[in-house]
């Protein structure tokens, strides 16, 4: 069971900022920006590279959840970044697809 599955199952506490039947969003425990939220599908897709065509509806729900989280947290006006890490070299540390929503300060490009 991944860390995120344990959060979904409420076995590990987290600060949930948004939740639907299919998606949960919670604050990152090691934030890289003033606002750093993870948007996670409740059904496990290990990583974006392993998503299948029949995952498309859930992937769409993830993006809609990102927009809702940004709205709820007041990030729309100043802007925000959405990041998906894939694989070790991409910075992936939990094998459960998740989107990082980062905001609350200017974000440099390219990222580290």
| The pLDDT value given to residue 31 | 97
Residue 55 included in any domain: yes
Element (H, E) at 78: none
> Which of helix, strand or coil describes residue 111?
coil
Residue 110 included in any domain: no
Q: Which domain holds residue 97?
A: 3-103
Residue 19 included in any domain: yes
pLDDT in tens, 35-69: 999 999 999 999 999 999 999 999 999 999 999 99
| The pLDDT value given to residue 110 | 87
Q: Residues 62-85: what's their mean pLDDT?
A: 97
Number of domains the chain is built from? 1
| The pLDDT value given to residue 111 | 81
Model-wide pTM > 0.85: yes
Checking if the pLDDT of 89 tops 80, the result is: yes
* 38, 100 contact by CB (below 8 A): yes
What residues are labeled active site?
98
């Amino acid at each position: 069971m991944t860390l995120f599955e344990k959060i979904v199952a409420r076995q590990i506490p987290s600060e949930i900022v948004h939740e639907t039947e299919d998606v949960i969003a919670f604050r990152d425990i090691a934030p890289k920006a003033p606002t750093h939220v993870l948007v996670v599908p409740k059904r496990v897709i290990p990583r974006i590279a392993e998503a299948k065509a029949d995952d498309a509806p859930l992937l769409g729900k993830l993006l809609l959840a990102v927009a809702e989280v940004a709205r709820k947290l007041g990030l729309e006006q100043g802007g925000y970044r959405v990041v998906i890490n894939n694989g070790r070299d991409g910075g992936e540390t939990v094998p459960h697809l998740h989107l990082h929503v980062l905001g609350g300060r200017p974000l440099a490009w390219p990222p580290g």
